[in-house]
């Protein structure tokens, strides 16, 4: 299964879906499971916070039905550790402008991808799925 923490409105959701779909295609068509709860529990549907993917011709997906986040419930210790290190890295650059943060986004991306985590919070340079090598 490919678990996706959904967030944002239309543009962000479409980007999250596109990354998940790319990983899905590379992994041989695993099921997509989308978690909208953490973000949508805090925002109002009338302000554009709803599952906009339902309005598009997407592949079938299911909703995550557990309490809490995918990170908390579905990851192992190594995945949590690497996500924690990436979060610290992001925090170190949080006061920098958006372009600097985007330039630093690839740091740690391959390590995360190698353990099955595809975090694209500040942008993405390359997604490594399976045994892919660095682009030359």
Contacts of 37 (CB under 8 A, 6+ apart): 64
**128 in Cβ contact with 113 (< 8 Å):** yes
Closest residue by Cα to residue 24 from 34, 11, 13: 34
Express as a percent the part of the chain with pLDDT over 90: 25
Q: What is the reported pTM?
A: 0.76
How far, in Å, CA of 86 to CA of 104, rounded?
A: 11
**68 in Cβ contact with 40 (< 8 Å):** no
Q: How many CB atoms lie within 10 A of CB 71?
A: 17
Residue with more model confidence, 46 or 69: 69
Residue with more model confidence, 121 or 71: 71
Is residue 92 predicted with pLDDT exceeding 50?
yes
- Provide the pLDDT for residue 73: 93
Ranked by mean pLDDT, the top range of 39-43, 78-82, 131-135 is 78-82
């Amino acid at each position: 299964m490919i678990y996706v923490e959904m967030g944002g409105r239309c543009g962000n959701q479409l980007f999250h879906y596109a990354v998940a779909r790319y990983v899905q295609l590379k992994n041989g068509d695993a099921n997509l499971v989308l978690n909208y709860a953490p973000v949508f529990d805090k925002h109002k549907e009338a302000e554009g916070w709803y599952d906009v993917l339902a309005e598009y011709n997407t592949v079938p997906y299911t909703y995550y039905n557990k309490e809490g986040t995918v990170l908390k419930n579905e990851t192992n210790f190594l995945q949590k550790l690497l996500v924690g290190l990436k979060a610290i890295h992001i925090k170190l650059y949080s006061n920098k402008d958006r372009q600097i943060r985007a330039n630093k986004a690839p740091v740690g991306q391959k390590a995360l991808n190698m353990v099955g985590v595809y975090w694209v919070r500040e942008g993405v340079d390359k997604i490594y799925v399976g045994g892919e090598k660095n682009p030359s």
